[in-house]
Amino acid sequence: EVNQQARCRELAKSSSFYSTVYSEIEEVGWDHLVRAGGDLSFLIFRVLDKKGRVHVMEIQLDKAYPRVPPMVSADVPYIFNLKWSMNSRLKNLVQQFEKHLEKLQGFWSTLDEIDRSLQIVDSKQASRAIPSRQIHVGNDCFIILFIDINDPRSLPECRFIGLGNTVNSLRKTWKRNVDKWERDKAFLENLECLLNTQLPRLADEETNNHLDECGICYAQYLPIGDELGPQTGSATDYTCENNSCSKAFHSMCLVDWLRSITTTRQYVELLVYLYLLIYYESEYNFIPVHYVL
């Protein structure tokens, strides 16, 4: 964050575009800035909703900004209609995003109820932007639920996948009990009532490790973009071994953060060097010459 702020401050001196963007980032707050492109045409902000969920918003700025409105993408099922004028600023964009998040609280609460309790297929790829979940119901059978974004407490659309007899039995039970769905009941209670069975739950260890967010960027997945190379969109891949911490991190965020601290820069470079030695020795049974001190 310190390095980003210093770089942005230097750019601000070179043109009105950089100066404008720099001042508007300050208005939003540097603590909300996750990453900034080298020319400030690409910004990533993190925003907390009322339930404490962290959301990442990516912003593309044209060099004619603010005459040309920014382009926005985020981890939401649909993007809000941006209201923009020549007098609009980035803080207005963030405020509109926050209001959009408020409308989706019920939808995400339903997804959270499902994700934290049931056995989700490809749970690491489960996204807040996707209104469906594929759930394991036992005997090699699965159901795909499609949650209504605007009315998440309503009866979801449901599809069944698996072996014929079991799936047919579940489908018939669902159709027979469909009138039993009650909006005032918890989603899982409704679901099990319609299927007339108790669904498999997550094991304790899976529950504790589910949906871990990075302790630095506060997102579960890295943003999607060419500048991140092969790590684009990847989930957290490192957990602190200190039992009093046990936080999850993206290795890229961890290295960037450590490198920003002058006193640890040499130490990080040594760790990277040692990691490469171990990697090449274990994978290829040799140590490359250009990594030898």
The one-digit pLDDT tens for each residue of the chain (293 residues) are 556 667 666 666 567 888 888 899 999 998 899 888 878 889 999 999 988 888 999 999 998 999 999 999 998 999 999 999 999 999 999 999 999 999 999 999 999 999 988 988 876 667 889 999 999 887 788 999 999 999 999 999 999 998 778 888 889 999 999 999 999 999 999 999 999 988 888 765 454 445 577 878 777 777 655 566 666 667 777 777 666 677 788 878 877 776 665 555 555 555 555 555 555 555 555 544 444 44
Total count of domains within the chain: 3
Look up the pTM and report it: 0.67
Question: Residue 37: inside a domain, yes or no?
Answer: yes
Q: Are residues 11 and 69 in the same domain?
A: yes
Q: Give the integer Cα–Cα distance in Å for 188 and 169.
A: 20
139 near 166, Cβ under 8 Å? yes
Cβ–Cβ < 8 Å for 35, 23? no
The domain containing residue 160 runs over which residues? 118-195
The domain boundary residue, chosen from 195, 229, 259: 195
Q: Does residue 203 lie in a domain region?
A: no
Other C-beta atoms lying within 10 Å of the C-beta of residue 253: 20
| Secondary structure class of 293 (helix, strand, coil) | coil
Helix (H) or strand (E) holding 199: none
Would you say 206 and 144 are in contact if contact means Cβ atoms under 8 Å apart?
A: no
Tokens of 226: 């060419």
Tell me: do 125 and 163 sit in the same domain.
yes
The CATH number for 167's domain is 3.10.110.20
Give the end of a domain, one of 74, 104, 134.
104
**Are the beta carbons of 94 and 75 closer than 8 angstroms?**
no
Q: Are residues 147 and 182 in the same domain?
A: yes
Distance CA 239, CA 249 (A): 6
With respect to residue 52, please indicate whether it lies within any of the assigned structural domains.
Answer: yes
127 and 95 in one domain?
no
Give the span between the Cα atoms of 16 and 2, in whole angstroms. 22
- Asked if residue 231 and residue 184 are part of one domain, the reply reads no
CA gap 129, 75 in Å, rounded: 5
Task: Say if CB 49 and CB 214 are below 8 A apart.
Answer: no
